[in-house]
């Protein structure tokens, strides 16, 4: 396993649409494992392959509570097959937009179809933080960041704050 470098916005790879994986082969299983390790190392609750520069439709999530054992979920070709009509607001962050947060509104529950690490087709019913996180990760596969759900004004404020913070970090 390996910790991969996470790409920070604005970067063109984060705007690209990722390709479906034809099958969950050795390479994809390895990528899933490396992404889980990278997610844990970064203290994230999810990670999408484009965030580590790989344009395959692969995501990992783990929303376990601190007092519970880890529960990583690895997904290839995840697809929302049902979304609840009721919406939920969640304060979101993103490892590719470090230290910036904003409220995003999304369906409060989703059913997602995907291929697991063994290439088996599965469905998962998600609500709460898990539903939010899965939708955030699938957005990444479509070149969409959480700030794209905000008004132009709020997005501009966050991206300018991020630029300033990244420049300060580079010269610190």
Task: Answer whether 92's CB lies under 8 Å from 103's CB.
Answer: yes
Q: Is 103 a catalytic residue?
A: no
3-state secondary structure of 43: coil
Q: How far is the CB of 132 from Ni ion (least distance, A)?
A: 11
Task: Report helix, strand or coil for 140.
Answer: helix
Rounded to whole angstroms, the Cα distance separating 148 from 134 reads 16
Q: Is the peptide bond before 53 cis (omega within 30 degrees of 0)?
A: no
Q: Applying CB under 5 A, which part among 14-22, 63-71, 94-102, 150-158 lies near Ni ion?
A: 94-102
- Residue 45 CA from chain centroid, whole number: 8
Q: Which of 59, 68, 33 is nearest to 134 (CA)?
A: 59
Enter the tokens of residue 56.
């395959």
Of these, 48, 73, 110, 134, which contacts ligand GNR (CB under 6 A)? 48
End-to-end CA distance of the chain: 31
What would the x/- binding string for ligand GNR be over residues 54 to 93, using CB under 6 A? ------------------------------------x-xx
Q: Counting contacts by CB under 5 A, is residue 104 touching Ni ion?
A: no
112 binds, among ligand GNR, Ni ion, none (CB under 5 to 8 A by kind): none
- Residue from 95, 130, 134, 162 touching ligand GNR (CB under 6 A): that is 95
Q: Which of residues 111-140 bind ligand GNR (CB under 6 A)?
A: 132-133, 136-137, 140
Instruction: Give the footprint of ligand GNR on this chain (CB under 6 A).
Output: 44-48, 51, 90, 92-96, 132-133, 136-137, 140
State the catalytic residues: 137
């Amino acid at each position: 396993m390996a910790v991969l470098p996470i790409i920070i916005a604005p970067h063109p790879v984060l705007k690209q649409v990722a390709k479906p994986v034809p099958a969950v082969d050795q390479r994809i299983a390895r990528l899933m494992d490396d992404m889980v390790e990278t997610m844990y190392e970064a203290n994230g609750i999810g990670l999408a392959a484009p965030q580590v520069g790989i344009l395959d439709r692969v995501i990992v999530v783990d929303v376990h509570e601190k007092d519970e054992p880890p529960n990583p979920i690895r997904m290839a070709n995840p697809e929302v097959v049902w979304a609840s009509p009721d919406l939920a607001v969640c304060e979101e962050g993103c490892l590719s937009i470090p230290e910036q947060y904003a409220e995003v509104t999304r369906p409060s529950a989703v059913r997602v179809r995907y291929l697991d690490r063994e290439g088996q087709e599965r469905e998962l019913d998600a609500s709460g933080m898990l539903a939010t996180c899965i939708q955030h990760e699938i957005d990444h596969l479509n070149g969409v960041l959480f700030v794209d759900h905000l008004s132009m004004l709020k997005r501009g404020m966050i991206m300018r704050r991020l630029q300033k913070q990244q420049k300060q970090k580079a010269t610190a």
